[in-house]
Homo-oligomer: A and B are copies of this chain.
């Protein structure tokens, strides 16, 4: 089995490691627009060889598109135009706009929309790590639009990566990820910017930053180049969550201003429900 991975960054690179190590694939071909990524991916032995996109499509049984989501809506139709019987997947953090971009494509059946739910705040090939996906969830979307053999191959791939497979329609996927992934990045970016802004007046402001602050603001280290396209593609859902989040903060503010600390305490008590989810 030959797998071509287009975009050898954190996700593409970590998948390369995982697919090779599990024996799912014999050869991993890398494709990347950025010369530094290509050089680094070869140096780190994330890929066996590097090809131009058209050749990488022809030589592969499975093509994984791991580029930023804004590029996928043009890259995916381009790749599907060039496949015969190969299977193509994407691993983007949004799903509906990507699925829509090939809705009426004659080769739609060869495409499976996926989203392995794993990552770190780092990016690029040097961010690729072993075991990133183990025991995490991966989502397959709108699988009734894909050929059965294609879905089957992708399922086998994610099982080899030791992931738990779950299915969503692409619209629900985008609502859910807005709530449990995209908004977390918004919160962290905003918190980092707020405190960095204060640093201009109070130059010792970070001296006392402890592990709680570090945890809340960790995602602000993420790459804007990855996240801006996600915010753009999932704008409507993210704006909904953002409005609800701001309303919650305004409710906190109102409770404080009206000195309603008993009510505030009861309200915060409900947040402890989160212990059910976070072990």
Q: Which residues of A are interface residues toward B (Cβ below 8 A)?
A: 117-121, 136-137, 139, 166, 172, 175-177, 179-181, 183-198, 202, 204-221, 224-225, 227-228, 231-232, 235, 238-239, 241-246, 248-250, 252-253, 256-257, 261, 264-265, 267-275, 277-278
Asked if A194 contacts B117 (CB within 8 A), the reply is: no
Asked if B192 contacts A274 (CB within 8 A), the reply is: yes
Asked if A245 contacts B191 (CB within 8 A), the reply is: yes
Asked if A208 contacts B137 (CB within 8 A), the reply is: yes
Give Cα A10–Cα B39 distance, bound, in whole angstroms: 49
Chain B neighbourhood of A180, CB < 8 A: 195, 205-206, 208-210, 213
Q: Within the complex, which residue of B176, B185, B252, B274 is in contact with A242, where a contact is CB–CB below 8 Å?
A: B252
Chosen A-B contacts, 23 in total, with CB atoms closer than 8 Å, are A117-B208, A121-B212, A137-B208, A177-B208, A179-B194, A181-B209, A184-B212, A184-B217, A185-B212, A193-B248, A193-B270, A196-B270, A216-B216, A216-B219, A220-B271, A221-B272, A221-B274, A221-B275, A224-B268, A225-B265, A228-B264, A232-B261, A246-B246
Residue of B nearest to A191 (CB): B187
Asked if B181 contacts A212 (CB within 8 A), the reply is: yes
Chain B neighbourhood of A216, CB < 8 A: 184, 187-188, 215-216, 218-219
Chain B neighbourhood of A177, CB < 8 A: 208
User: Given the known A-B contacts A189-B268, A191-B187, A206-B277, are A219 and B212 also in contact in the complex, defined by CB atoms under 8 Å?
Assistant: yes
Residue of B nearest to A241 (CB): B194
Residue of B nearest to A190 (CB): B248
Asked if B268 contacts A256 (CB within 8 A), the reply is: no
Q: Within the complex, which residue of B224, B244, B265, B267 is in contact with A194, where a contact is CB–CB below 8 Å?
A: B244
Asked if A256 contacts B235 (CB within 8 A), the reply is: yes
Asked if A205 contacts B224 (CB within 8 A), the reply is: no
Residue of B nearest to A242 (CB): B253
Chain B neighbourhood of A215, CB < 8 A: 184, 215-216, 218-219
Asked if B217 contacts A278 (CB within 8 A), the reply is: yes
* Max chain B C-beta neighbours (<10 A), residue from A175, A183, A211: A211
Give Cα A205–Cα B178 distance, bound, in whole angstroms: 10
Asked if B270 contacts A210 (CB within 8 A), the reply is: no
* Max chain B C-beta neighbours (<10 A), residue from A205, A213, A225: A213
Chain B neighbourhood of A172, CB < 8 A: 202
Residue of B nearest to A164 (CB): B207
Residue of B nearest to A235 (CB): B256
